[in-house]
Amino acid sequence: MSQLSDDSGQSAAGIAEWITQNCPEKLRSQPARNRDICWGGKRWTFSSEEQRIWLENAAAAGLTAPRWPQAYGGAGLTREQEKGFREAMSRLNAPSPLESFGLWMLGPALLEFGTEEQKRHFLPQITRGEIRWCQGYSEPGAGSDLASVQTRAEDMGDHWLVNGSKIWTSYANHADWIFALVRTDRDAAKHLGISFMLIDMESEGVTTKPITLISGTSVFCETFFDNVKVPKSYGENIPAQVGQINRGWDVAKHLLTHEREMIGGGGSGAAGGILGGRSLGEFMGNLAPEVLDEPVIRAQAMELEIDSLAMGMTLERYKDMAKQGGVGNASAMLKYMGTELNKRRYELLMSATGSEGTDWDGAHGVLAPEWLRTKANSIEGGTSEVMLDILSKRVLELPSK
**Cα–Cα separations (whole angstroms), residue 217 to 372, 373, 380:** 10, 9, 16
> Which residue in the list 50, 82, 222, 259 is annotated as catalytic?
259
Cα–Cα distance, 346 to 339 (Å, whole number) = 11
> What is the pairing mode between strands 194-200 and 241-242?
antiparallel
Q: Report how far Cα 153 is from the mean position of its chain's Cα atoms.
A: 26
**Burial of 335: CB neighbours in 10 Å, binned 0-12, 13-18, 19+:** buried
Q: Please indicate whether residue 259 is annotated as part of the active site.
A: yes
Cα–Cα distance, 108 to 319 (Å, whole number) = 13
Q: Report how far Cα 169 is from the mean position of its chain's Cα atoms.
A: 13
Q: What residues contact 208, with CB distance under 8 A and at least 6 apart?
A: 169, 172, 173, 201, 221, 222, 223, 224
Find out whether 50 and 29 touch, Cβ atoms under 8 Å: no
What positions carry a catalytic annotation? 259
